[in-house]
């Protein structure tokens, strides 16, 4: 299987916020081969605490995203430490000086990668988990004649008020560490990063997951072991990177596209792509009820609920076999349309 890491220079990017991302770079990974007609493309935008490698369990010959047939591209979000981020930006954008980057900005730059670098003529599918799902909705609104299908799982077309409350909570846990110093830290704010991970863990799974002690299926003997893992996992992230992506998530709304005058509902109704929207039945911050509302405004979409007690993490690539089987079935069905 052919694989390649792409570093695509964007130059200075004018952002929706009115700010500028200077000397921006978009990093992506590709798997498979682009067809001669440049029309066999699947796009997998990355999720909150993930990079392109997060999708690796689902990509390959005969896999959910089959590289025998498709050219799979996974562009990394700004702020995830690979594409331009607070931790790697030039001085004017580094650390707490990093500008507000919207999902809107990410998708426009991803479009540049696909059209300028690869001259793509058709995108067969844009799919993704969590923030990847949010980007999939934006792709369908922004480029209706390019994107044939979308499959957002465990995500939404905008950040709901309840979701914003969740994000405000984890942000407050990190920012309460005095070492964080409003982003002007000299050493990592470890206490804040650990608190961020510990608070996040309670939202990532469902009540049933904890009641049934399903953390044991992940190899943890005790609940404290699971919490310690979430603490350690978030120590690997730069604090300003985490909060830059959090701002991107918090402000996500497909109604922001400038050619729309009716906002969120009009944006959804404008989608021409065939769509299967897949919430997890027990997701605490992207609940199925929100997906039902969104699909109600879409002409060519259906809701398929992932039946799982793993909460939001049901959608984590390769994490729960039963959920991944449901996802694989939906991808196959959608690509056959």
Residue with tokens 């007609």: 37
Distance CA 31, CA 58 (A): 11
In eight-state DSSP terms, residue 77 is P
Q: What is the mean pLDDT of residues 281-288?
A: 98
Are the C-beta atoms of residues 90 and 83 closer than 8 Å to each other? Answer: no
Return the pLDDT at 189.
99
Q: Which two tokens stand for residue 88?
A: 């790697």
Q: For residue 258, what pLDDT band results from cuts at 50, 70 and 90?
A: low
Q: For residue 260, what pLDDT band results from cuts at 50, 70 and 90?
A: low
Are the C-beta atoms of residues 181 and 172 closer than 8 Å to each other? Answer: no
Return the pLDDT at 259.
73
Give per-residue pLDDT as tens, 12-26.
999 999 999 999 999
Q: What is the mean pLDDT of residues 243-247?
A: 99
Handedness of CA 67, 112, 264, 266 (dihedral sign): negative
In eight-state DSSP terms, residue 310 is S
| Percentage of the chain lying above the pLDDT 90 cut | 97
Q: Which residues have a Cβ under 8 Å from the Cβ of 258 and sit 6 or more positions away?
A: none
From 82-86, 96-100, 167-171, 253-257, the region with the lowest mean pLDDT: 253-257
Asked whether residue 299 carries a pLDDT value surpassing 80, the answer given is yes
CA-based nearest residue to 210, from 193, 195, 227: 227
CA-based nearest residue to 249, from 83, 79, 110, 88: 79
Return the pLDDT at 165.
98
Give per-residue pLDDT as tens, 129-153.
999 999 999 999 999 999 999 999 9
Average pLDDT, rounded, for the chain = 98
CA-based nearest residue to 26, from 119, 114, 87: 114
Give per-residue pLDDT as tens, 36-87.
999 999 999 999 999 999 999 999 999 999 999 999 999 999 999 999 999 9
Please give the residue that has the higher pLDDT: either 194 or 257: 194
């Amino acid at each position: 299987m052919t694989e390649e890491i792409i570093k695509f220079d964007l130059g200075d990017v004018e952002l929706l916020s009115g700010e500028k991302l200077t000397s921006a770079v978009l990093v992506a990974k590709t798997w498979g081969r682009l067809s001669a007609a440049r029309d066999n493309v699947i796009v997998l935008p990355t999720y909150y605490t993930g990079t392109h490698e997060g999708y690796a369990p689902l990509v390959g010959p005969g896999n959910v995203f089959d590289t025998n047939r498709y050219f799979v591209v996974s562009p990394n979000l700004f702020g995830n430490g690979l594409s331009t981020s607070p931790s790697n930006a030039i001085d004017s954008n580094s650390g707490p000086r990093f500008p507000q980057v919207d999902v809107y900005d990410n998708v426009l730059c991803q479009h540049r990668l696909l059209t300028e670098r690869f001259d793509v003529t058709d995108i067969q599918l844009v799919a993704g988990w969590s923030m990847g799902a949010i980007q999939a909705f934006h792709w369908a609104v922004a480029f209706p004649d390019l994107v044939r299908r979308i499959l957002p799982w465990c995500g939404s077309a905008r950040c709901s008020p309840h979701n914003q409350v969740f994000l405000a909570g984890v942000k407050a846990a990190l920012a309460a560490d005095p070492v964080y110093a409003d982003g002007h830290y000299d050493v990592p704010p470890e206490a804040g990063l650990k608190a961020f991970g510990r608070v996040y863990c309670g939202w990532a799974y469902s009540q049933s997951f904890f009641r049934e002690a399903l953390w044991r299926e992940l190899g943890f003997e005790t609940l404290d072991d699971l919490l310690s893992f979430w603490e350690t996992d978030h120590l690997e992230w730069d604090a300003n990177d985490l909060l830059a992506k959090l701002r991107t998530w918090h402000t996500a709304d497909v109604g922001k596209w400038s050619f729309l005058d009716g906002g969120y509902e009009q944006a959804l109704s404008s989608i021409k792509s065939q769509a299967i929207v897949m919430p997890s039945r027990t997701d605490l911050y992207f609940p199925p009820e929100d997906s039902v509302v969104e699909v109600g405004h879409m002409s060519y979409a259906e809701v398929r609920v992932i039946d799982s007690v793993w909460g939001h993490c049901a959608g984590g690539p390769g994490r729960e076999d039963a959920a991944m089987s449901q996802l694989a079935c939906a991808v196959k069905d959608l690509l056959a349309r």
